[in-house]
Structure 1
Amino acid sequence: MEATSPPPPGSELDRAHRRRRSLMIAFWVLVFVTAAVGNTMTTRMDAMRYDIPSPTWQIATNEFSSIVLGLLMLPFLLKACDRWPLHADTWRRRLPLYLLGSVAYCACHVVGMDLLRMLVYAGFGSKYEPGPWANQAVYEYLKDIRTFFLIVAVGHMVEWFGRHIQGEASLLDVPDEGQPVEAVDRPERFLVRKLGRDFLVATADIEWVQSAGNYVNLRVRGRDYPLRSTLAALETRLDPAVFVRAHRSYLVHLAQVTSIEPLDAGDARLHMADGTVLPCSRRYRESLRAAAAGAEPALARA
């Protein structure tokens, strides 16, 4: 089952993704801790009401041990959501994977929670008895599967909303009727959708293209717009005299390259017009210089 690569480190999409992830983790910490405090208080009041001999430390240990394990596993679960997102064309294939993941999530949760309780109980001179493992497994799984899929649903919803705000790009399709307004094999414009509105972005305005797994990011005036395509497939659609491969993950617009800085290992750095520095691998350095020689002699001498 194929995985989807996360946004490239340092990109605008990566920074936005990290901000959303930090807010999401803070949200779940608040929810989990509030639930643990509330459950501890209500369970303590029930114990006092019905005269059940249950000390406060024991109640708090039982509640917070579950929360601690849930929070420890939260980053891994959110990372799995990034790697295997549930899209309209993938959810049927990936749903069994998530069901298996919920079983693993519950197993780790129960084992870690029991070990933590045993450790705390021993510190108070007591002994924790989890009871029959089969009963506990069924009981905990019925609770954990709800928590698991709630986290998955919220995670995907937040990421969808983030992409909706960020915007996404698509290639213009051949019209259902009549002749296309431009050559489909060599697009002059891309369709960009952002917050429910469509915009046309000129291909000449694209500064560079960056690979991101099953997507590529079009860099346009300081913003990244994801396009569902591989870098190799998009490269065949763009003018090779204008867009040149500089790295296995980068395709650059020659007019946006201001200088090529050679490195000792044979690689190079590309200084772009907006001040960004992109990598240029040794494999593509000479072909890029040759292309630059035809477009701008100053670059060839760098």
Structure 2
Amino acid sequence: MNYLSHFQRYKFNYEIIVLFCYFFINATVLATSVLMEESRESSSLVFDTREPFVWEYSSAVSSILLFPLIVYLLRKHPFQWQNIKQSFAVYGFASVVFSLGHVGLMVGIREVVYLLMDRRYDFGNLGFELLYEYRKDLWSFIFFVIVIKGYQFIIMRLQGEANPIEIGESEHSVDKPHTNLDRLLVKKLGKEFIIQIHDVEWLEGSGNYVNLHIKERIYPLRATLTSLSAQLSTQGFCRIHRSHAVRLDMVESITPLASGDSEVKLRNNKTLMLSRRYKDGFKQMFER
């Protein structure tokens, strides 16, 4: 397994680790900077040395909790330059919601921690502090949007994006009905190559994309798992879970579980869950 395949397999885990490391390293640096600045200006600190860490870590935790909402916003309402006024309105409103959510979570965490320290937390003048925090949160919101879009662009360039091809025709939408989908055109790092549908081992739903798993490689295809699995049912693919579908001739064994679900082991040693909701349809297609 090469580095890209390894990253694709554990992509979510790496993203979580990097996210936590960034926020908490940044919070630690900011907290220690406050202590160093205070000690440089006077020989005795005028506040509890724990306070800067409470301030910065509460902000970091709040940002982490809100970060998935920014990802969701970019997925559901991507910024459109051709409709820039509406996009600015949506993202401007989202920045206000982000700031209010950040302040609310942050103050709530501080209130609890200060209570445990037998102290009282004073947020200050509400109007002034909200404006002060929004000034910082707006820049953080813009920074997060740029980082997320840049990261998605790099990942897409590295792993390539698949587009359906119909025999004798140009590229088309995978949601187009009655389409004989048997090949995919993959664009990767400025190159194009074709993969066959019968090489796909299993499908994984990921928001507006379906990840096609082919021999330890993953190619995203812009589609829904519902539409794609239905379209490929005539080619031996079957939906077995709300998040994935499999090519039936890849199935090696099925192990029933006490919960009523089952584990499906593929010939590539990948194990997927067969939920009770899709069990009857799976059995019918498998027996057929």
Query: Normalised by the shorter chain, which TM-score bucket?
Result: 0.7 to 0.9
Give the one of 79, 82, 85 matched to 2:68. 79
Residues 135 and 111 of structure 1: is their aligned pair in 2 closer, same or farther, counting only changes over 3 Å? farther
Over 3 Å counting, the alpha-carbon distance change for 1:151 and 1:281 in structure 2 is closer
| Count of residue correspondences | 270
What is the aligned counterpart of 2:29 among 31, 34, 38? 34
Partner secondary structure for residue 71 of structure 1: helix
Q: Provide the alpha-carbon RMSD of the alignment.
A: 3.6
1:102 to 81, 86, 99: 99
Q: What residue in structure 1 maps to residue 286 of structure 2? A: 292
**What amino acid does structure 1 have at the position aligned with 2:247?**
H
Matched, 1:70 2:73: no
Q: 2:163 aligns with which of 166, 170, 190?
A: 170
- SS of equivalent to 1:56: coil
- Counterpart of 2:127? 134
CA distance in structure 1 between the aligned counterparts of 2:183 and 2:269, rounded to whole angstroms: 25
In structure 1, the partner of 2:139 is 146
Q: TM-score, normalised by structure 2?
A: 0.75
151-160 vs 193-202, which moves further: 151-160
Query: 1:27: Cα distance to partner?
Result: 2.2
Partner of 2:216 in structure 1?
222
Q: Which amino acid aligns with 1:29?
A: F
Q: TM-score, normalised by structure 1?
A: 0.72
After superposition, the Cα gap between the structure-2 partners of 1:62 and 1:262, relative to the gap in structure 1 and judged at 3 Å, is closer
- 2:158 & 2:205 partners in 1: Cα distance? 21
**Which entry has the higher C-alpha Rg, 1 or 2?**
1
Unaligned 5+ segments in structure 2 are: 1-5, 81-86, 173-177
Distance 1:36 1:264 in 2: 50
Q: Distance in 1 between matches of 2:20 and 2:240?
A: 37
Aligned AA for 2:184? F
Cα distance, 1:40–1:210 mapped onto 2, change above 3 Å: same
Contact 1:167 1:192 in 2 (8 A): yes
Q: Comparing both chains, which one has the higher relative contact order based on Cα–Cα distances under 8 Å and sequence gaps of 6 or more?
A: 1
Q: Residue 246 of structure 1 contacts residue 281 of structure 1 at CA under 8 Å; is this kept in 2?
A: yes
Q: CA deviation at 1:75?
A: 2.3
1:207·1:220 contact (CA, 8 Å) conserved in 2?
A: yes
3-state SS of 1:209 partner:
strand
Which residue of 247, 254, 259 maps to 2:241?
A: 247
Partner of 1:275: 269
Q: Percent identity, please.
A: 24
Q: Determine if the alignment matches structure 1 residue 19 to structure 2 residue 14.
A: yes
> 1:163 offset after TM fit, Å?
4.2
Q: Is the 8 A contact 2:184 2:194 kept in 1?
A: yes
Give, in whole Å, the separation in 2 of the partners of 1:102 and 1:74.
10
Q: Distance in 1 between matches of 2:240 and 2:115?
A: 57
The 3 A distance-change label for structure 1 pair 187 and 181 is: same
Q: More deviation in 240-249 or 206-215?
A: 240-249
Task: For residue 69 of structure 1, report the CA deviation from its aligned partner.
Answer: 1.0
Structure 1 pair 87–231 and aligned structure 2 pair: CA distance change class (3 A): closer
